């Protein structure tokens, strides 16, 4: 709340509103609310883009007030968490729940971004080891500014952390009509859950280390770290002392069973695939057996499993694209020229200059002419080291046998383009913000076009995110990315200094007196920097 108080959509005396609270939450990167928001692609940039009037303010300490939307959200959080089995204090995820459940602008936007208050409520109950229902609980008020802080048993980001306080009794679900279960059944459940929990955590840690150290991808590392923290929260519903008491590693028949494939890993990619599979299988086991005692925990584990599939795809796509485009440095965008002959000469000169990718982009030509140009370019690039990309038109990629398509923020989605192209061809995506770049990675893009960096002679934009966006993407994203927009030899050093070693150009090559020579100079500068 102190961080939220630094922001305002009005003057310095205006009350703290919902968007300001969201900025306060995302600033606490290690808290659960920040992890939930990150999972939905919500960061400070996205919030400020939605509410551009938000600005830092210096508020007098005695004038700190909450607006009616925030006060209502706190009341909603209290109302929704009445049945928690632990005393409730205001944790970050509780406040986010209230904000998402409200009837105001902030709540509507959160729900549009996919923050489902009902699902979040189930996750919170699961973290406390409870299921909403007719349970008795000792109710305490949520902490709000100006009131006393919670007692020492509570943490700033969630429920009490001591195992004795946070572990509920292991019990079948209320709907179990089979009567008391033998102790052996209870031990069996615990052994299953303990083994699956250990496998899931181990597999997730291996995957996280691969993404962090091999792919050097901060964005995916953050996503996996968030998943790991949420898994730990759900696992608190399994009483830790009982898990340890039921563990029988030396007597486990599975420890003496193995297959030759378990001891063989031919590449780091094998390690990645094997451990994602281990994670997903373990999550399924945890999910199924959790249904015996807490459906809310099972629902939370199901959501983690689905997210692991998406992250698996993003990590594999990044790994594959890094390998496929490892040597790619120069990407040239061309139009159809004034004639078929002029177009063929330009494509041939670019191939001879060792341009890595050529994109055909022309809004003037009709479909038949555009397809003919694409087929001409394919004949010339076939067998060379130059890939052929078609702008916006996956159908023409298929008809011309090009290497891929490039789409913008208003064109076909990666999902729809992939339905047309099938699994092989490349899909590039234009991004104009860090949030768009993060989303494109999760959507399954093979590479990014990041910009516009500088004013361009071939395309106009209302705003230019510039070199600062390049720097942010270079620090966060491991997927191959090309800086685009007004880049030439004169400003190339700024691009390289921002951490980008791939560029996409148009006029710098196509408008030059000798396109082949211009492309060679750019390519040489990029290769020299990479070396």
- DSSP annotation of 9: S
What pLDDT does residue 471 have?
95
Neighbouring C-beta atoms of residue 34, cutoff 10 Å: 22
> What gap in Å lies between CA 101 and CA 106, rounded to an integer?
10
User: pLDDT of 1-45, one tens digit each?
Assistant: 778 887 877 766 778 888 889 988 988 877 888 888 888 889 888
Q: Look at the alpha carbons of 50, 56, 57, 62 in this order and tell me if their dihedral is positive or negative.
A: positive
DSSP states of 54-105: -EE----GGG--B-HHHHHHHHHHHHHTTT-SS-----HHHHHHHHHHSSSH
Domain boundaries of the chain, sorted by first residue: 4-162, 183-321, 327-530
What's the CA angle centered on 469, arms 464 and 475, to 5 degrees?
Answer: 170
Distances in whole angstroms, Cα of residue 41 to Cα of each of 44, 436, 514: 10, 9, 44
Q: Which two tokens stand for residue 495?
A: 């691009």
Confidence band for 375, pLDDT divided at 50, 70 and 90: very high
Q: What is the CA radius of gyration of the chain?
A: 27
For residue 141, pLDDT over 70 is answered with no
pLDDT tens digits along 480-528: 999 999 999 999 999 999 999 999 999 999 999 999 999 999 999 999 9
Taking residues 82-96, report their average pLDDT. 71
| pLDDT tens, residue by residue, 199-228 | 999 999 999 999 999 999 999 999 999 999
What is the percent of the chain with per-residue pLDDT over 70, rounded to a whole number?
80
User: Is the sign of the CA dihedral 403, 408, 414, 419 positive or negative?
Assistant: negative
SS3 331: strand
The helix (H) or strand (E) run that includes residue 402 is none
The yes-or-no verdict on residue 472 having pLDDT over 60 is yes
Residue 409 belongs to what H/E stretch?
none
Instruction: Report the pLDDT value the prediction gives residue 102, as an integer from 0 to 100.
Output: 87
Question: Quick one: which of 481, 377, 381, 394 has its CA closest to 432?
Answer: 481
Residue 387 has pLDDT above 90, yes or no: yes
Average confidence score pLDDT of the chain:
83
pLDDT at 190 over 50: yes
Return the pLDDT at 367. Answer: 96
Q: In the prediction, which pLDDT does 128 show?
A: 62
- Residue 129: its pLDDT value, please? 56
CATH architecture of 4-162: Orthogonal Bundle (1.10)
Q: What is the pLDDT of residue 369?
A: 97
pLDDT tens across 296-308, in order?
A: 889 999 999 999 9
- Strands of 325-408, DSSP E: 330-334, 357-360, 387-391, 404-407
Contact 94, 77 (CB under 8 A): yes
Dihedral, CA of residue 434, residue 435, residue 437 and residue 438, to nearest 10: 120
Cβ–Cβ under 8 Å, residues 101 and 38? no
Report the topology of domain 327-530: TIM Barrel (3.20.20)
User: What is the pLDDT averaged over residues 163-172?
Assistant: 42
Tokens 């500068």 locate to: 525
Domain 183-321 CATH (choose: 1.20.1260, 1.20.140, 1.20.272, 1.10.3470)? 1.20.1260
> What integer pLDDT is reported at residue 83 of this predicted model?
67
The structure tokens listed for 407 are 């789409």
pLDDT band at 84 (very low <50, low <70, confident <90, very high): low
Cβ-contact 444, 317 below 8 angstroms = yes
- Tell me the two tokens of residue 290: 């959790």
Residues 6+ apart with CB under 8 A from 212: 221
- Could you tell me which residue, 84 or 326, shows the higher pLDDT? 326
Give the number of residues written for the chain.
Answer: 531
Q: Which has more confidence, 324 or 58?
A: 324
């Amino acid at each position: 709340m102190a961080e939220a108080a630094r922001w305002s959509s009005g003057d310095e005396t205006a009350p703290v509103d919902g968007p300001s609270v969201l900025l306060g939450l995302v600033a606490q990167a290690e808290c659960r609310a920040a992890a939930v928001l990150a999972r939905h692609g919500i960061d400070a940039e996205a919030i400020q883009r939605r509410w551009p009037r938000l600005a830092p303010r210096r508020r007098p300490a005695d004038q700190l007030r909450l607006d009616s939307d925030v006060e209502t959200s706190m009341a909603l959080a209290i109302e929704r968490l009445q049945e928690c089995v632990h005393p409730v204090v205001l944790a970050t995820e509780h406040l986010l729940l209230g904000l998402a459940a409200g009837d105001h602008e902030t709540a509507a936007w959160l729900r549009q971004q996919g923050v489902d208050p009902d699902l979040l409520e189930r996750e919170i109950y699961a973290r406390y080891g409870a299921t909403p229902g007719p349970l008795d609980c000792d109710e305490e008020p949520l902490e709000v500014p100006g009131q006393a802080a919670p007692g020492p048993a509570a943490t700033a980001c969630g429920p009490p952390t001591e195992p004795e306080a946070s572990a509920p009794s292991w019990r079948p679900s209320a709907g179990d009509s089979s009567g008391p279960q033998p102790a052996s059944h209870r031990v069996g459940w615990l052994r299953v859950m303990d083994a699956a929990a250990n496998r899931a955590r181990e597999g997730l840690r291996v995957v996280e280390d691969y993404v962090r150290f091999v792919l050097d991808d901060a964005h995916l590392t953050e996503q996996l770290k968030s998943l790991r923290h949420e898994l730990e929260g759900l696992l608190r519903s399994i009483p830790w002392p009982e898990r340890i008491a039921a563990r029988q590693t030396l007597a486990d028949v599975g420890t003496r069973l193995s297959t030759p494939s378990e001891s063989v890993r031919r590449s780091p990619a094998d390690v990645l695939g094997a451990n994602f599979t281990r994670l997903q299988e373990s999550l399924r086991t945890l999910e199924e057996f959790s249904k015996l005692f807490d459906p809310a925990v099972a629902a939370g584990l199901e959501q983690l499993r689905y997210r692991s599939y998406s992250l698996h795809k993003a990590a594999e796509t990044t790994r594959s694209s890094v390998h496929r485009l490892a040597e790619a440095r120069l990407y040239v965008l061309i139009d159809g020229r004034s004639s078929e002959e002029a177009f063929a000469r330009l494509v041939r000169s670019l191939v001879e200059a060792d341009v890595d990718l050529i994109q055909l982009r022309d809004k003037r030509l009709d479909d038949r002419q555009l397809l003919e140009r694409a087929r001409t370019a394919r004949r010339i690039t076939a067998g060379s080291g130059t890939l052929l990309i078609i702008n916006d038109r996956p159908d023409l990629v298929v008809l011309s046998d090009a290497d891929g398509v490039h789409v913008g923020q208003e064109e076909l989605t990666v999902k729809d383009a992939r339905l047309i192209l099938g699994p092989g061809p490349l899909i590039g995506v234009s991004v104009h913000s860090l949030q768009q770049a993060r989303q494109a990675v999760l959507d399954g893009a093979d590479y990014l076009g990041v910009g516009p960096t500088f004013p361009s002679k071939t395309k106009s934009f209302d705003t230019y995110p510039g070199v600062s966006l390049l720097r942010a993407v270079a620090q966060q994203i491991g997927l191959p990315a090309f800086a685009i927009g007004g880049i030439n030899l004169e400003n190339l050093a700024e691009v390289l200094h921002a951490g980008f070693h791939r560029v996409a150009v148009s006029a710098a090559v196509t408008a030059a007196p000798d396109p082949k020579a211009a492309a060679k100079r750019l390519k040489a500068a990029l290769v020299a920097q990479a070396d």
